[in-house]
Amino acid sequence: MSFTILGTGSAEPSLCKTNDDLAKVMDTSDEWIRSRTGIEKRRLCGEETVTDLACEAAEHAMEDAGVTARDLDLILCATVTGDYITPSMACLVQERLGASCPAFDVNAACAGFLYALDVADGYFARDRVKRVLVIGAEAISKIADWEDRSTAVIFADGAGAVVLGEGGDLLAARLTTRGNHGALYAENVKGNCPFRSNGTKAENVSETSDSDGREIKKARENYLYMDGQEVFRFAVASMIRDLKQIMKEAGLSCGDVTYVMPHQANRRIIDFAASKLDIADEKFLVNIDQRGNTSAAAIPILLDETRRKGMLKKGDVLLFTSFGAGLTTAACAVRWGRE
């Protein structure tokens, strides 16, 4: 017993900012951003919180699935940008929706939504649940360094959700981690404990080394830092490897695949990985041009958009693949079970 997807939903924040808008506040241009990322515009939070987005996406997914909050047996939220360190965003969503089930967050960065699906699968396998709400929601704009054009132009905000029920539609899944905290990270608050020497300075954090002895560059305190070249190489290699592996485990040929829904990190990453696989280019779905990189929310948003466009039919085979800070990767093959 695994699961089937009963419903999908998504939510977008109020602000829509084009590349030209960003060029007004930092040293960049529309051509610079498009050529390196494929992004044209992105959604950013204005007055709304990431919890607002998560709840809206959840409500759309529940409505689509025909269930209420009282029907839920578990709520999982994938995020790195919850409104609080504690309580978890899942607890905030549970309270606002009026549910009474257990709820907790999953932090696997951009791969978090697929990690959460795998967690949900374990609950179904043990016959502990009948209905599970899984949400990916992020407001990366609040941890992006808006003086660093190499990162701020990429990330965006949004939320996507699915309601899962009992079924057999998860065909294969793969999770990996290659510990590397220096390639992509954002530090937590240091606090003001008088007994701890933390050397806080507003402008930077101390330099350290990663597991390979390479110096980790300084980043402005509490802001996101990314080594773009290292992440690019890791992302391409992991997407190719993970897609091949889950197709093998599920007994799928390239012709069996209806769509590939990759993490929307960078258009060049997607295109390069696609060129190394025998899956037709048109099967790789992309919305990064309009959405930017919404981290753990990217895949559920893309799935909801695809469903609402009427592009899915019962029996379609979908491949999901993602990667993120950690460094984490995740991929799974799912059969679409709805009419």
Q: Report the C-alpha gap between 134 and 297 in whole angstroms.
A: 11
Per the annotation, the verdict on 266 as an active-site residue is no
Per the annotation, the verdict on 293 as an active-site residue is yes
Residue in 19, 263, 266, 332 annotated catalytic: 263
Per the annotation, the verdict on 60 as an active-site residue is no
252-257, Cβ contacts within 8 angstroms, sequence gap of 24 or more: 252/171, 252/317, 252/333, 254/278, 254/279, 254/280, 256/317, 257/283, 257/317, 257/318, 257/319
For 52, the 3-state DSSP assignment is helix
Secondary structure element (H or E) that encloses residue 64, with its range? helix 50-65
What CA–CA distances, in Å, run from 34 to 38, 113, 154, 183? 4, 26, 10, 23
For 87, the 3-state DSSP assignment is coil
Residue in 19, 107, 266, 293 annotated catalytic: 293
Residue in 110, 180, 266, 332 annotated catalytic: 110
Q: Report the C-alpha gap between 86 and 290 in whole angstroms.
A: 32
Q: Report the C-alpha gap between 101 and 237 in whole angstroms.
A: 39
Instruction: Name the packing angle between helices 228-250 and 267-275 (round to 10°).
Output: 50
| Catalytic (active-site) positions | 110, 263, 293
